[in-house]
Structure 1
Amino acid sequence: YNYHIKALEVMPDHIHIFIDVPQTVAPCDVVRTLKSISTIELFRAFPKLKQFYAKCGVLWSRGYFVSTVGHISEATVIKYIEEQKNDK
């Protein structure tokens, strides 16, 4: 997909991810792709997780927040994401 993860922090109930993608890709498509691939990989790694979610629904919620870098620097975004691990 030519996506490049620049920063990532997994929180108990959400994920912060800073990702560089081609400008031709819609943000909703990026989110859909990331949720789909991560679900497949998690279910492959943890089969019991797949059994659980087969009974109760989907792994990821429908919601997400997307913003672009422009009014702040990449370094600011990366610093913010890295600081999230200190706030857990």
Structure 2
Amino acid sequence: MRKKSWRSTRAAVYSLNYHFVWSTKYRRKVLRESVGETLKEAIKALCLEHGYELIALEVMEDHVHVFLSAPPKVAPSIIAKVLKGSTARTLFTKHPELKKILRNGHLWNPSYYVGSAGQVSSETIQRYIKGQKTKEEGGD
């Protein structure tokens, strides 16, 4: 059975996939071994709790890649805030040694990258939209 490429809520049918990347403060290589595992588990739990579908996750020593799907009512900036804020609290609680390496309670750089991905390319969408007028005029 083929998995559907879209999801739905009461008010929308969507295919919104986001690739987030963020790094540790000063690119410190602190996401090793048990710290990295704790981070993975925390991200999985947050996605489940907030209704995001986690598609892919990789934790590097100094940065994180998260690929997920979220409903359109949730802005990507909110997703980043939830993931970064909650995981920082979790990691500082479960790994207090991080406080010695990352002073002032800042685990993550303040910025992040987010890119979107869907099931079709932007060129396909543009062709589809341009073809709508022609289709209407042709009597189809």
What is the TM-score normalised by the length of structure 2?
0.45
Q: Aligned partners of 2:97, 2:65: CA distance in 1, in Å?
A: 25
In the TM superposition, 1:9-24 aligns within 5 A as 9-24=58-73
Q: Unmatched 5+ residue regions in structure 2?
A: 1-49, 123-140
Tell me what 1:64 maps to. 112
Taking CA–CA contacts closer than 8 Å with sequence separation of 6 or more, which of the two structures ends up with the larger relative contact order?
A: 1
Q: Deviations over 1:17-65 (max 9, x none)?
A: 1011111111111000000111111112112223543x34511001111
Between the aligned partners of 1:51 and 1:9, the Cα distance in structure 2 is: 25
Q: Distance in 1 between matches of 2:62 and 2:100?
A: 20
What RMSD, in angstroms, separates the aligned Cα atoms of the two structures? Answer: 1.9
Q: Which runs of 5+ in 1 are unaligned?
A: 73-88
- Large movers: runs of 4+ above 4 Å: none
- The residue type paired with residue 45 of structure 1 is K
**Paired AA for residue 40 in structure 1:** R
- Give the strand-richer structure, 1 or 2: 2
